[in-house]
Chains A and B, each alone.
Chain A
Amino acid sequence: KQEVTQIPAALSVPEGENLVLNCSFTDSAIYNLQWFRQDPGKGLTSLLLIQSSQREQTSGRLNASLDKSSGRSTLYIAASQPGDSATYLCAVGEGGSEKLVFGKGTKLTVNP
């Protein structure tokens, strides 16, 4: 059974800092890995999708990497801003079941 773990559960950083969020998964038979952002009282917004054949994806100040063999992904946020404060969720697209399996998220606070 696929399990997705995100460390740390919460992170507080000063504005301008570069930071890394971690995601690990137990079964490497995945179709892709997706990173989402969830703001309080809102739904999830898709940030990046990395196919299983890819190593990384970039969008603006965000860079996500995938090491399928070791079951790890990282989300790198450059020059963090207070507007980046949110919960970031990692989800793996499970091979065969066509489901997304989510981690519990990392709550990020960027202080001005």
Chain B
Amino acid sequence: DTAVSQTPKYLVTQMGNDKSIKCEQNLGHDTMYWYKQDSKKFLKIMFSYNNKELIINETVPNRFSPKSPDKAHLNLHINSLELGDSAVYFCASSQGQGAYQPQHFGDGTRLSIL
């Protein structure tokens, strides 16, 4: 069983569209994250949720809106997609907040904006 699963794996879309990425974890963790890995492979945190509560909200355009319906799911909705949004988006989870515990990552969603 996949511990942290993201869908879709690939997403190719036009500039200006709205899209969502879904993430689910079956590890029983209480904290989930979204990271962005750009073309230079630099990985940076975007958001984290603990028990459905937003904990970290980095300087991310408000076109990006995370939603956590329960502590096993954290989805990412992106409005009005721009060329610079092209990247790999990773979901992760951990037991406990922040950087104290090992984080478990999904395989990523590769977003390409045409």
Contact = CB atoms under 8 A, between A and B. Distances in A.
Contacts of B104: 46
B102 to A, nearest CB: 4
Interface residues of A, number: 24
Interface stretch (B13-21, B66-74, B78-86, B93-101): B93-101
B22 to A, nearest CB: 15
B98 A99 contact: yes
Nearest to B4: A43
A91 B45 CA distance: 11
Classify the interface of chain A: helix, strand, loop or mixed. strand
Nearest to B55: A98
Contacts, number: 63
Contacts of B92: 43-44
Interface string A34-58: 1010000111111001000000000
A102 B55 CA distance: 19
B102 A43 contact: no
A32 B90 CA distance: 21
B102 A34 contact: yes
B90 A99 contact: no
B53 to A, nearest CB: 13
Contacts of B97: 98
Interface of B: 4, 40-45, 48, 55-56, 90, 92, 97-108
Interface of A: 31-32, 34, 36, 41-46, 49, 87, 89, 91-94, 97-100, 102, 104-105
14 contacts: A32-B99, A34-B99, A44-B43, A44-B90, A46-B104, A49-B102, A93-B98, A98-B48, A99-B45, A99-B56, A100-B45, A100-B103, A102-B42, A104-B40
